Amino acid sequence: MALLVSGVEWPGEGVDPREAVASALVVPPDRILACQLVRKSLDARRRRKRWVANYRVDCEQEEELLARKGVRVWTDRDDLRFGCVDLTSVPRQPWPPSCRPIVVGAGPAGLFAALRLAEEGASVTLIERGGSVEERVRGVNGFWRRRLELDPESNVVFGEGGAGTFSDGKIYTRRRDGELGYIFRRLVDFGADERILTDGWAHLGTDKVRAILPAFRERLEQLGVELRYRTCMTDLLVEDGRCVGLRLGSGEELRRAPVIVAAGHSARDSYEILIRAGAAAEARTISIGARIEHPQELIDRARYKNARGELPPASYRLAWKPTRGRRAHTFCMCPGGIVVPATNHPERVVVNGMSFFSRQAFWANSAVIVEVQPGEYPGTDALGGPALSGPDRAGGLGAGWRGLHGAGSTGGGPPGGARQQLRAEEQLSPWPGGL
């Protein structure tokens, strides 16, 4: 039996943690046989900021420590959650050759679905309406920096890597899903920084995501996955109430099942296809908001009560829950990041936060959103909410590039006096002229 010991003061990089773990458990250090760091995060609530860590611990007479605060038995679920077990080593039945899945969408959900299936021996086809990440980056830079036409099929949200490719690449979740460790391990295999395995608030950074994707693709190809870019599902084929395949934009039919539709958040046409095919869908509460920006230094001082020093750029999360009225909260906060145009429609305005791995940009940005309930937006079907931000609405906001630019976003550059602090990564700002 091993233990999960939480709330240990992290002794620092390269320091043997046994003494710190022993001190947290109030036992002599020689009782600790082994310990492995599984998570660490910064506790910024007190005057003295400290890194707090959780460890998997092997020690003598473990049972008697179970009553201590922050100590519990290490479970099989923890093995999966912290990536201590390789799922490919779990023995299973051979994959039936007649079952050849098609995955729609090469965002994180589709990529990992294809990978897991292929690792199990399935013959997988992965289709993606957008281009490869290399093609995408060229197209997005052209749209951002040279004001080239938006490509509605391959852009900030569509294409290899999905909607998170041009973002902060945050990879934490409030869910404690048992198999997250597998995802993190694979990301490291494909080139992510090892620290994502232990950082409580891990993020990849847009620069790293772009570098990980070609390695991911190479692995899929090694496993025999057929990858088809610029290939859009336009219909699902349903016979006798069962999905038997799909139709592509070219008219070609792929009569293979099962079909996994991992179409993400922004492909409304794909939702229409699903609903037409008989998938269950319901109107839900949606969130609407805007991005706000502050100098990162202001956030650091507010959170750390001092200059940042060696600490990471500070983040925040705010929530307003009135007893009556609309709730609001901040979401997707990007420390040291930039605000980018993130639309997939020439007449729609969407902004997102993006940051590089080092998060060294001048600004911090965050979305502030309010909840809008079904009944408050037009229409009663499942697509009523998404339609609220349709092209007809964008006009009111000042549609397109010019309107967005004029809407007050700083787009990554600091104001006048602070201009000399413009960091290298902000010079890659999507806004023409670096503004």
Ligand X SMILES: Cc1cc2nc3c(=O)[nH]c(=O)nc-3n(C[C@H](O)[C@H](O)[C@H](O)COP(=O)(O)OP(=O)(O)OC[C@H]3O[C@@H](n4cnc5c(N)ncnc54)[C@H](O)[C@@H]3O)c2cc1C
Contacts with 3 (C-beta within 8 Å, 6 or more apart), sequence order: 56, 57, 58, 59, 62, 65, 66, 71, 72, 73, 74
Say whether residue 199 binds ligand X (CB under 6 A).
no
Q: Which stretch binds ligand X (CB under 6 A): 35-43, 85-93, 151-159, 208-216?
A: 151-159
Instruction: Give 332 or 435: the residue with its C-beta nearer to ligand X.
Output: 332
Say whether residue 333 binds ligand X (CB under 6 A).
no
For residue 159, what are the CA distances in angstroms to 62, 105, 106, 108?
50, 8, 7, 11
Instruction: Give 71 or 180: the residue with its C-beta nearer to ligand X.
Output: 180
Binding residues among 265-294 for ligand X as defined by CB under 6 A: 265-267, 270
Say whether residue 162 binds ligand X (CB under 6 A).
yes
* Closest CB 98 distance from ligand X, rounded Å: 24
Say whether residue 159 binds ligand X (CB under 6 A).
yes
Q: Which stretch binds ligand X (CB under 6 A): 54-62, 95-103, 104-112, 114-122?
A: 104-112
User: Rounded distance, CA 117 to CA 104, Å?
Assistant: 13
Say whether residue 168 binds ligand X (CB under 6 A).
yes
Q: Which stretch binds ligand X (CB under 6 A): 64-72, 86-94, 346-354, 371-379?
A: 346-354
Q: Which stretch binds ligand X (CB under 6 A): 8-16, 39-47, 93-101, 123-131?
A: 123-131
Say whether residue 132 binds ligand X (CB under 6 A).
no
Say whether residue 109 binds ligand X (CB under 6 A).
yes
Say whether residue 362 binds ligand X (CB under 6 A).
no
Q: Determine how β-strand 259-261 pairs with β-strand 102-104.
A: parallel
Tokens for 278, please give them. 């008989």
Say whether residue 341 binds ligand X (CB under 6 A).
no
Torsion of CA 332, 333, 334, 336, to 10 degrees: 180
Dihedrals phi, psi of 246, to nearest 5 degrees = -150, 165
Say whether residue 197 binds ligand X (CB under 6 A).
no
Dihedrals phi, psi of 290, to nearest 5 degrees = -145, 170
- Check if the beta carbon of residue 213 is closer than 8 Å to that of residue 165: yes
Q: Enumerate long-range contacts of 322-328, CB under 8 Å, 24 or more apart.
A: 326/370, 326/371, 327/370, 327/371, 328/289, 328/368, 328/369, 328/370, 328/371
Q: Which stretch binds ligand X (CB under 6 A): 114-122, 252-260, 274-282, 350-358?
A: 350-358
Number of residues that bind ligand X (CB under 6 A): 34
Instruction: Give 32 or 267: the residue with its C-beta nearer to ligand X.
Output: 267
Instruction: Give 155 or 198: the residue with its C-beta nearer to ligand X.
Output: 155
Q: What is the CA radius of gyration of the chain?
A: 24
* Closest CB 58 distance from ligand X, rounded Å: 34
Q: Which stretch binds ligand X (CB under 6 A): 158-166, 209-217, 290-298, 413-421?
A: 158-166
Binding residues among 206-245 for ligand X as defined by CB under 6 A: 232-233
* Closest CB 164 distance from ligand X, rounded Å: 4
Instruction: Give 249 or 415: the residue with its C-beta nearer to ligand X.
Output: 249
Return the exposure string of 204-231: e unless at least 16 CB atoms fall within 10 Å of the residue's CB, then b.
bbbbbbbbbbeebbebbeebebebebbb
Provide DSSP, 196-238. Answer: GGTBTT-B--HHHHHHHHHHHHHHHHHTT-EEESS--EEEEEE
Instruction: Give 36 or 234: the residue with its C-beta nearer to ligand X.
Output: 234
Provide DSSP, 119-142. Answer: HTT---EEE-SS--HHHHHHHHHH
Residues found near ligand X in the complex (CB under 6 A)? 104-110, 127-130, 157-159, 162-164, 167-168, 170, 232-233, 262-267, 270, 332, 342, 350, 352-353
